[in-house]
Amino acid sequence: MILYHGSNLAIPKPDILHSRPYVDFGRGFYATPLKEQAEQWCKRYKRQGKEAVLSIYSMDERKMAERKLLSFGTYSLDWLNFVVQCRSGQDKSDYDIVIGGIANDKVFNTVELYFDHLIDEEEAIKRLRYEKPNIQYCFRTEEALPVLHYEGSEIL
């Protein structure tokens, strides 16, 4: 499987040290199998006047099977609760890799409403079901990173 990472520079050797802590699945190196999704992320850098670079990786699925994995097939109550835990710094899980939907702007608005107790779980899930699913892979431990093999990069 091919994964993409959008940034302002090529990343031949991914690490988790440069990531932010309170994002969807916690601190980690994020990638997606959807090239268009990674290109959209790159546009953010272009708007800031920076270079936009798409790094490309092949993923060793045999090595991945050896890691502790959490996968969300769809936006769900479990996904919602996990994102809220990660974004609030309360996640204590030890998953190496987490796979699931992205809390994009529309999704994040729903997550925020739920987080602030302005809507309940049922309403949050109802709203999330209408969002176009995206997908992200979060490599949360150094032990998970050898699953990725750098194939090169493209300047957009």
Predicted pLDDT of residue 86: 94
pLDDT grade for 60, boundaries at 50, 70 and 90? very high
Q: What is the mean pLDDT of residues 132-141?
A: 88
Predicted pLDDT of residue 129: 66
- Is the confidence at residue 92, as pLDDT, over 80? yes
Domain positions in the chain:
2-155
Closest among 90, 62, 79, 75 to 146, alpha carbons compared: 62
Helix (H, G, I), strand (E, B) or coil at 98: strand
8 A C-beta contact, residue 63 and residue 89: no
High-pLDDT (> 70) share of the chain, %: 94
- Is the confidence at residue 140, as pLDDT, over 90? yes
8 A C-beta contact, residue 128 and residue 78: no
The mean-pLDDT minimum among 55-59, 104-108, 124-128, 131-135 falls in 104-108
The mean-pLDDT minimum among 19-28, 86-95, 115-124 falls in 115-124
Predicted pLDDT of residue 132: 65
Measure Cα distances from 65 to 70, 72, 143 in Å: 11, 16, 12
Distance CA 99, CA 30 (A): 10
* CB half-sphere exposure, 101, CA atoms < 13 A: 25
Which residues neighbour 20 within 8 Å (Cβ) at sequence distance 6 or greater? 27
Q: Residue with structure tokens 């997908």?
A: 135
Q: Residue with structure tokens 């031949």?
A: 12
pLDDT grade for 45, boundaries at 50, 70 and 90? confident
Tell which wins on pLDDT, 79 or 3: 3
Predicted pLDDT of residue 126: 76
8 A C-beta contact, residue 115 and residue 84: yes
Helix (H, G, I), strand (E, B) or coil at 55: strand
Q: What is the mean pLDDT of residues 101-108?
A: 73
8 A C-beta contact, residue 98 and residue 138: yes
Instruction: Look up the pTM and report it.
Output: 0.85
